Amino acid sequence: MKAFYDLHIHSALSPCGDEDMTPNNIVNMSLLKGLDVIAVTDHNSCGNVRTVMEVAGDRLLVIPGMEVETAEEVHILCYFPTLSQAEAMEELLKTNRLPIDNRPDIFGRQLYLNAEDEIIGEETRLLTAASTLSIEDVFSHAFALGGLPVPAHIDRQSYSVISNLGFLPPHLDIRGVEITAKNLDAWKTEYAQYPILCSSDAHYLGDIAEPFHFIDINSKNAEEFLAKLTKKIC
Ligand SMILES: [Zn+2]
Ligand SMILES: [Zn+2]
Protein backbone atom coordinates (compact mmCIF):
# COMPACT_ATOMS: atom_id res chain seq x y z
CA MET A 1 0.00 0.00 0.00
CA LYS A 2 1.09 3.55 -0.67
CA ALA A 3 1.86 5.33 2.60
CA PHE A 4 1.82 9.08 2.06
CA TYR A 5 4.12 10.73 4.54
CA ASP A 6 5.28 13.95 6.11
CA LEU A 7 8.23 13.15 8.33
CA HIS A 8 9.25 16.65 9.37
CA ILE A 9 6.61 18.47 11.42
CA HIS A 10 7.25 20.77 14.38
CA SER A 11 4.87 20.96 17.32
CA ALA A 12 4.35 23.86 19.74
CA LEU A 13 7.28 22.44 21.71
CA SER A 14 9.64 23.96 19.16
CA PRO A 15 10.04 27.65 20.02
CA CYS A 16 9.67 28.46 16.33
CA GLY A 17 6.58 26.21 16.00
CA ASP A 18 3.20 27.94 15.99
CA GLU A 19 1.21 27.43 19.19
CA ASP A 20 -1.60 26.01 17.04
CA MET A 21 0.70 23.02 16.36
CA THR A 22 -1.04 20.97 19.03
CA PRO A 23 -1.31 17.16 18.98
CA ASN A 24 -4.96 17.20 17.88
CA ASN A 25 -4.44 19.90 15.28
CA ILE A 26 -1.41 18.12 13.81
CA VAL A 27 -3.17 14.74 13.68
CA ASN A 28 -6.43 16.13 12.31
CA MET A 29 -4.72 18.26 9.67
CA SER A 30 -2.58 15.28 8.61
CA LEU A 31 -5.70 13.13 8.26
CA LEU A 32 -7.49 15.91 6.40
CA LYS A 33 -4.57 16.11 3.99
CA GLY A 34 -4.77 12.36 3.42
CA LEU A 35 -1.45 11.42 5.00
CA ASP A 36 -0.80 7.93 6.38
CA VAL A 37 2.50 8.46 8.19
CA ILE A 38 3.88 11.46 10.05
CA ALA A 39 6.79 12.30 12.31
CA VAL A 40 6.77 15.15 14.80
CA THR A 41 10.39 16.26 14.85
CA ASP A 42 10.90 19.01 17.37
CA HIS A 43 14.32 20.52 17.90
CA ASN A 44 16.41 18.17 20.07
CA SER A 45 13.30 16.74 21.74
CA CYS A 46 10.53 14.18 21.34
CA GLY A 47 8.60 15.64 24.28
CA ASN A 48 5.21 15.82 22.52
CA VAL A 49 5.54 12.62 20.48
CA ARG A 50 3.90 10.39 23.09
CA THR A 51 0.81 12.61 23.08
CA VAL A 52 0.69 12.79 19.29
CA MET A 53 0.85 8.97 19.16
CA GLU A 54 -1.93 8.74 21.74
CA VAL A 55 -4.15 11.17 19.82
CA ALA A 56 -3.44 9.46 16.49
CA GLY A 57 -4.24 5.97 17.77
CA ASP A 58 -4.46 3.64 14.79
CA ARG A 59 -5.68 6.39 12.45
CA LEU A 60 -2.17 7.47 11.54
CA LEU A 61 1.27 5.91 11.89
CA VAL A 62 3.47 8.24 13.96
CA ILE A 63 7.21 7.61 13.67
CA PRO A 64 8.99 8.77 16.84
CA GLY A 65 11.69 11.28 16.02
CA MET A 66 13.35 14.63 16.52
CA GLU A 67 15.52 17.12 14.67
CA VAL A 68 18.94 17.16 16.27
CA GLU A 69 21.27 20.12 15.91
CA THR A 70 24.90 19.04 15.87
CA ALA A 71 27.92 20.95 17.14
CA GLU A 72 28.50 22.06 13.53
CA GLU A 73 24.96 23.58 13.56
CA VAL A 74 23.77 20.96 11.09
CA HIS A 75 20.24 19.58 11.42
CA ILE A 76 19.90 15.81 11.43
CA LEU A 77 16.48 14.17 11.55
CA CYS A 78 16.56 11.08 13.73
CA TYR A 79 13.79 8.50 13.43
CA PHE A 80 13.22 5.51 15.69
CA PRO A 81 10.99 2.42 15.57
CA THR A 82 9.81 3.00 19.15
CA LEU A 83 9.23 5.94 21.46
CA SER A 84 11.56 4.57 24.13
CA GLN A 85 14.46 4.59 21.65
CA ALA A 86 13.67 8.21 20.75
CA GLU A 87 13.47 9.11 24.43
CA ALA A 88 16.89 7.55 25.00
CA MET A 89 18.28 9.83 22.27
CA GLU A 90 16.59 12.81 23.90
CA GLU A 91 18.16 11.94 27.26
CA LEU A 92 21.54 11.89 25.59
CA LEU A 93 20.92 15.32 24.08
CA LYS A 94 19.86 16.78 27.43
CA THR A 95 23.34 16.21 28.78
CA ASN A 96 25.07 17.20 25.54
CA ARG A 97 23.47 20.52 24.75
CA LEU A 98 24.49 24.07 25.59
CA PRO A 99 22.53 24.96 28.76
CA ILE A 100 20.89 28.14 27.56
CA ASP A 101 17.57 29.31 29.03
CA ASN A 102 14.76 29.99 26.61
CA ARG A 103 13.63 33.58 26.17
CA PRO A 104 9.95 33.03 25.28
CA ASP A 105 9.54 36.72 24.43
CA ILE A 106 12.25 36.37 21.75
CA PHE A 107 12.18 32.73 20.62
CA GLY A 108 8.62 31.68 21.52
CA ARG A 109 7.22 29.37 24.18
CA GLN A 110 8.11 25.66 24.23
CA LEU A 111 4.90 23.88 25.20
CA TYR A 112 4.23 20.36 26.40
CA LEU A 113 0.63 19.42 25.63
CA ASN A 114 -1.73 16.63 26.63
CA ALA A 115 -4.23 14.71 24.50
CA GLU A 116 -6.81 17.47 25.09
CA ASP A 117 -4.33 20.03 23.75
CA GLU A 118 -4.01 21.53 27.21
CA ILE A 119 -0.64 22.98 28.25
CA ILE A 120 0.87 20.67 30.86
CA GLY A 121 4.30 22.23 31.01
CA GLU A 122 6.80 24.55 29.42
CA GLU A 123 10.40 23.69 28.58
CA THR A 124 12.66 26.32 30.10
CA ARG A 125 15.95 25.33 28.44
CA LEU A 126 16.25 26.55 24.83
CA LEU A 127 15.70 23.50 22.63
CA THR A 128 17.21 25.12 19.55
CA ALA A 129 20.60 25.39 21.22
CA ALA A 130 23.19 23.32 19.37
CA SER A 131 24.23 20.05 20.92
CA THR A 132 27.88 19.42 21.66
CA LEU A 133 27.71 16.22 19.58
CA SER A 134 29.37 16.17 16.18
CA ILE A 135 27.58 14.85 13.09
CA GLU A 136 29.55 11.61 13.49
CA ASP A 137 28.45 11.36 17.15
CA VAL A 138 24.78 11.91 16.26
CA PHE A 139 24.95 9.27 13.52
CA SER A 140 26.63 6.72 15.75
CA HIS A 141 24.31 7.33 18.71
CA ALA A 142 21.19 7.19 16.52
CA PHE A 143 22.31 3.94 14.89
CA ALA A 144 23.35 2.45 18.24
CA LEU A 145 19.85 3.13 19.56
CA GLY A 146 18.30 1.43 16.53
CA GLY A 147 17.37 4.66 14.78
CA LEU A 148 17.84 6.21 11.36
CA PRO A 149 19.68 9.55 11.06
CA VAL A 150 18.81 11.60 7.96
CA PRO A 151 20.54 14.92 7.11
CA ALA A 152 17.73 17.49 7.00
CA HIS A 153 16.98 19.97 4.19
CA ILE A 154 20.41 19.54 2.57
CA ASP A 155 19.48 22.13 -0.08
CA ARG A 156 19.04 24.97 2.43
CA GLN A 157 21.46 27.84 2.98
CA SER A 158 21.59 27.31 6.74
CA TYR A 159 21.63 24.45 9.24
CA SER A 160 22.32 21.94 6.48
CA VAL A 161 25.27 19.65 6.03
CA ILE A 162 25.97 21.03 2.54
CA SER A 163 25.76 24.69 3.56
CA ASN A 164 27.92 24.19 6.66
CA LEU A 165 30.44 21.58 5.49
CA GLY A 166 30.16 21.91 1.71
CA PHE A 167 29.67 18.18 1.11
CA LEU A 168 28.20 14.98 2.51
CA PRO A 169 31.02 13.43 4.58
CA PRO A 170 31.91 10.28 2.61
CA HIS A 171 32.70 8.25 5.73
CA LEU A 172 29.19 8.73 7.13
CA ASP A 173 26.77 5.83 6.67
CA ILE A 174 24.13 8.00 4.99
CA ARG A 175 20.99 6.00 4.28
CA GLY A 176 18.78 8.87 3.23
CA VAL A 177 18.74 12.65 2.76
CA GLU A 178 15.96 15.20 2.97
CA ILE A 179 15.50 17.71 0.15
CA THR A 180 12.83 20.41 0.35
CA ALA A 181 9.98 20.31 -2.16
CA LYS A 182 10.90 23.53 -3.95
CA ASN A 183 14.41 22.28 -4.77
CA LEU A 184 13.61 18.60 -5.25
CA ASP A 185 13.75 18.58 -9.05
CA ALA A 186 16.95 20.64 -9.16
CA TRP A 187 18.77 18.58 -6.51
CA LYS A 188 17.54 15.03 -6.77
CA THR A 189 19.76 13.95 -9.67
CA GLU A 190 22.96 14.92 -7.88
CA TYR A 191 21.97 12.91 -4.81
CA ALA A 192 20.21 10.09 -6.61
CA GLN A 193 22.48 7.50 -5.01
CA TYR A 194 20.68 8.14 -1.72
CA PRO A 195 17.08 7.49 -0.78
CA ILE A 196 15.53 10.98 -0.87
CA LEU A 197 12.87 12.16 1.55
CA CYS A 198 10.71 15.18 0.88
CA SER A 199 8.77 16.47 3.87
CA SER A 200 7.31 19.83 4.85
CA ASP A 201 9.32 21.09 7.88
CA ALA A 202 5.94 22.54 8.86
CA HIS A 203 5.93 25.08 11.68
CA TYR A 204 2.33 26.08 10.86
CA LEU A 205 -0.69 23.83 10.35
CA GLY A 206 -1.29 24.88 6.78
CA ASP A 207 2.25 23.87 5.82
CA ILE A 208 1.77 20.17 6.60
CA ALA A 209 2.43 18.28 3.37
CA GLU A 210 -0.11 17.34 0.73
CA PRO A 211 -0.27 13.59 -0.02
CA PHE A 212 2.40 13.66 -2.70
CA HIS A 213 5.38 11.63 -1.50
CA PHE A 214 4.86 8.04 -0.48
CA ILE A 215 6.57 4.80 0.44
CA ASP A 216 5.17 1.37 -0.39
CA ILE A 217 4.63 -0.67 2.77
CA ASN A 218 2.75 -3.85 3.61
CA SER A 219 1.54 -2.78 7.04
CA LYS A 220 1.46 0.38 9.14
CA ASN A 221 4.47 -0.47 11.22
CA ALA A 222 7.25 1.95 12.15
CA GLU A 223 10.04 -0.60 11.87
CA GLU A 224 8.98 -1.74 8.41
CA PHE A 225 8.45 1.84 7.30
CA LEU A 226 11.97 2.86 8.35
CA ALA A 227 13.48 -0.19 6.69
CA LYS A 228 11.63 0.58 3.43
CA LEU A 229 12.49 4.23 3.66
CA THR A 230 16.18 3.54 3.34
CA LYS A 231 15.54 1.71 0.07
CA LYS A 232 13.40 4.41 -1.47
CA ILE A 233 14.55 6.81 -4.14
CA CYS A 234 11.96 9.36 -5.20
ZN1 LIG B 1 15.98 22.22 10.34
ZN1 LIG C 1 12.68 21.44 11.14
Residue 159 Cα to ligand 2 middle (Å): 10
Give the number of the ligand closest to the Cα of residue 200.
Answer: 2
pLDDT value at residue 26: 98
Q: Is 193 left (phi over 0), alpha (psi -120 to 50) or beta?
A: alpha
Work out the number of other CB atoms within 10 angstroms of the CB of residue 118. Answer: 10
How does pLDDT run across 2-38, given as a tens digit for each residue? 999 999 999 999 999 999 999 999 999 999 999 999 9
> Nearest CA to 135 among 173, 175, 86, 94?
173
Give the number of the ligand closest to the Cα of residue 207.
Answer: 2
d(CA 114, CA 37): 21
Report the Cα 67 to chain-centroid distance in Å.
Answer: 5
d(CA 141, CA 73): 17
Residue 73 Cα to ligand 1 middle (Å): 10
Burial of residue 68 (number of CB atoms within 10 Å: 0-12, 13-18, 19+):
buried
Residue 224 Cα to ligand 1 middle (Å): 25
Work out the number of other CB atoms within 10 angstroms of the CB of residue 67. Answer: 26
How does pLDDT run across 86-119, given as a tens digit for each residue? 999 999 999 998 889 999 999 999 999 999 999 9
Give the number of the ligand closest to the Cα of residue 45.
Answer: 2
How does pLDDT run across 44-75, given as a tens digit for each residue? 999 999 999 999 999 999 999 999 999 999 99
Q: Give all domains of the chain, ordered by start, each with its CATH number.
A: 2-229 (3.20.20.140)
